[in-house]
């Protein structure tokens, strides 16, 4: 099944929801207006449709393999990655000072979606490299930056994130990997790390591991964790690659999905200690790692949108082709393509609305990130930072949970053929499952939303966003069309449900933590549902205006219908979710443990 990048929808969001021409007025982004966005996205689409997407099925059927301590990737991956790096795609949104192009996240996120739609297993390598670059930019010494950044940004080298150990998953207080200081200022690192994405491979000349470890004598718990650069091959002061460091891949995992992405078990220090170099200050590793994790969490949310888009495209193609049964309205006397059947249309519209809603939400979040870093007004930067931080667990949590529903519907549209690997529909379903787990499960995103993003400021940020949504409702009322009024009704009810939950979370998180956290994931899903629905409501306002002017009427009409569908069929669930959160905690916690 081929892939066609949804450029019209991406560019609509970038122009009308994210306001790319306003972003281009900010210092450092002067050349990054709509024309630039369009040119970059069109070039990115060509590369991903022509080079990366054809390798997707091959990666699933002929995944990475481990042999004699080395990982060999899927045939074609190495060559495609070299083209990716040579095209400058790794450095798209990294600073020009270290060889990047310095483009806004708003453009970079759309390119990231295309890469992940084309081939999610392949895309994981640059995703982790982006995180390593962010951590070094933020906390790395000038020496570390000089040695590592340019080669990471160019794609000549790749990066990894090493958190998890056999006994330490999400609870990083249990990390046991240790680092012993050496007289020359370096460290020797000893320990085992698991679930390391692209922890070993043959696509680049070096791999730069960012590793959490405890310096000898450090405090117990998370306060005693430091972050280290541990290269696969030692690097000379002139940047040349030298002898092998004492870090080795001892196996790779056999997985449900993303099979072409090698998930490594790495052993550090079996032969005297792996040379490591401190990032920033000792005992502040978790702080630095969160920089990587926040970048990666947003990117994983985009992966959810990407895999949903790919599943939707395949389902539509199949539904137009598969002949089965006469339409129920008698419009045809013979069996017809299944897209004529109302329930198939319902499934396809659900897939489309979820995907477009989450894409709009993620694009607006990316624009806030850009403003938080580049806007000349400090207060505006601060407001956008708060908005972006609130949105990250929603982009990650809601978009990935959404992708499971969408890829499952994709299998359902195919019927029995969806259960057969030959069609490819099942691969998207299998690949999507990991998205709700890695870089922090949905529950961890929900804990973040409850604790750091809602309870900490008494719901102030959440209610500020709700006030912006109310202004959109007022615009819908002024517009006055039938679709606008229908969306306004659903949006107002969902916003009120959200406010009720925010009050409950902020008011009860200390007094009744079990009650609040029993509804933490439903709260995240309600909030994500509302934010995606809000952006589609904004889309409807723009689309109706442009439709009236005769601009791309077919696209605008589809956008209006999709926004209306989302409001009627998805956003309309919010009040019931509110009741489950605010009134349903007792039934979550009431059953004694021994009764399970």
Query: For the purposes of burial, counting CB atoms within 10 Å of the CB of 243, is it exposed (0-12), middle (13-18) or buried (19 or more)?
Result: exposed
Which of 134, 389, 439, 473 is catalytic? The answer is 439
Residue 581 CA to its chain's centroid (Å): 26
Torsion angle, alpha carbons of 240, 242, 245, 251, to 10: 90
Nearest to 310 by CA among 256, 260, 358, 355: 355
Q: Are 122 and 81 in contact (CB under 8 A)?
A: yes
Judged by DSSP in three states, 569 sits in: helix
Q: Is 309 a catalytic residue?
A: no
Nearest to 31 by CA among 77, 86, 115, 96: 96
Q: Tell me how crowded residue 554 is: count the other CB atoms within 10 A of its CB.
A: 9
Q: Give residues with Cβ within 8 angstroms of 530, minimum separation 6.
A: 469, 491, 494, 495, 497, 498, 571, 574
Q: How many residues does the chain have?
A: 596
* Beta strands at 206-215 and 178-181: parallel, antiparallel or unpaired: parallel
Would you list the DSSP string of 8-39? Answer: HHHHHIIIIIS-HHHHTTSTT-TT-SHHHHHH
Cα–Cα dist 56/120, whole Å: 8
Which two tokens mark 183?
A: 């007289």
Cα–Cα dist 507/448, whole Å: 16
Query: For the purposes of burial, counting CB atoms within 10 Å of the CB of 507, is it exposed (0-12), middle (13-18) or buried (19 or more)?
Result: middle
Instruction: Tell me the catalytic residues.
Output: 439
């Amino acid at each position: 099944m081929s892939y066609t990048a949804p450029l019209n929808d991406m560019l609509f969001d970038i122009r009308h929801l994210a306001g790319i021409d306003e972003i281009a007025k900010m210092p450092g982004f002067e050349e990054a207006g709509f024309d630039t966005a369009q040119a970059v996205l069109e070039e990115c689409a060509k590369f991903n449709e022509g080079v990366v997407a054809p390798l997707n099925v091959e990666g699933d059927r002929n995944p990475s393999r481990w042999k004699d301590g080395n990982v060999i990737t899927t045939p074609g991956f190495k060559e495609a990655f070299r083209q990716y790096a040579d095209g400058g795609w790794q450095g798209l949104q990294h600073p020009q000072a270290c060889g990047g192009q310095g483009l806004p996240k708003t453009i970079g996120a759309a390119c990231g979606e295309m890469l992940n739609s084309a081939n999610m297993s392949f895309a994981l390598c640059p995703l982790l490299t982006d995180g390593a670059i962010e951590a070094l930019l933020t906390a790395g010494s000038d020496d570390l930056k000089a040695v590592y950044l340019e080669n990471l940004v160019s794609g000549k080298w790749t990066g990894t994130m090493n958190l998890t150990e056999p006994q330490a998953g999400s609870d990083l207080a249990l990390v046991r990997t240790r680092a012993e200081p050496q007289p020359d200022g370096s460290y020797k690192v000893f320990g085992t790390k698991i679930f390391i994405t692209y922890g070993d491979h043959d696509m680049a000349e070096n791999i730069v591991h960012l590793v959490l470890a405890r310096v000898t004598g450090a405090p117990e718990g998370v306060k005693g964790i430091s972050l280290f650069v541990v290269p696969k091959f030692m690097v000379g002061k002139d940047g040349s690659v030298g002898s092998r460091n004492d870090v080795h891949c001892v196996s790779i995992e056999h997985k449900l999905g993303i099979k072409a992405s090698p998930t490594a078990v790495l052993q550090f220090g079996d032969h005297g200690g792996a040379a490591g170099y401190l990032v920033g200050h000792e005992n502040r590793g978790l702080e630095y790692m969160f920089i990587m994790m926040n970048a990666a969490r947003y990117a994983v949310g985009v992966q959810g949108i990407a895999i949903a888009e790919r599943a939707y495209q395949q389902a539509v193609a199949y539904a137009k082709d598969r002949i089965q049964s006469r339409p129920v309205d008698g419009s045809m006397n013979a069996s017809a393509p299944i897209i004529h059947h109302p329930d198939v249309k319902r499934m396809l519209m659900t897939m489309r609305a979820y995907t477009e809603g989450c894409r709009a939400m993620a694009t607006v979040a990316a624009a806030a990130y850009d403003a938080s870093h580049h806007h000349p007004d400090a207060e505006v930067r601060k407001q956008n930072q708060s908005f972006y931080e609130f949105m990250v667990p929603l982009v990650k949590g809601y978009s990935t949970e959404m992708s499971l529903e969408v890829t499952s519907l994709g299998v359902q549209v195919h019927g029995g053929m969806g259960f057969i690997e030959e069609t490819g529909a099942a691969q998207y379903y299998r690949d999507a499952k990991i998205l709700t787990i890695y870089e922090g499960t949905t529950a961890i995103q929900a804990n973040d939303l409850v604790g750091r993003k809602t309870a900490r400021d008494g719901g102030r940020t959440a209610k500020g966003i709700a006030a912006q949504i109310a202004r959109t409702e007022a615009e819908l009322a002024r517009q006055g069309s039938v679709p606008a009024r229908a969306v306004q009704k659903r949006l107002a009810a969902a916003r009120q449900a959200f406010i009720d939950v925010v009050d409950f979370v902020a008011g009860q998180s200390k007094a009744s933590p079990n009650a609040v956290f029993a509804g933490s994931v439903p709260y995240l899903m309600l909030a994500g549902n509302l934010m995606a629905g809000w952006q589609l409501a904004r889309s409807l306002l723009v689309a109706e205006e442009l439709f009236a002017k005769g601009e791309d009427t077919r696209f605008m009409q589809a956008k209006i219908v999709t926004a209306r569908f989302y409001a009627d069929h998805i956003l309309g669930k919010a009040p019931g979710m509110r009741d489950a959160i605010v009134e349903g905690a007792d039934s979550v916690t009431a059953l004694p443990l021994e009764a399970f």
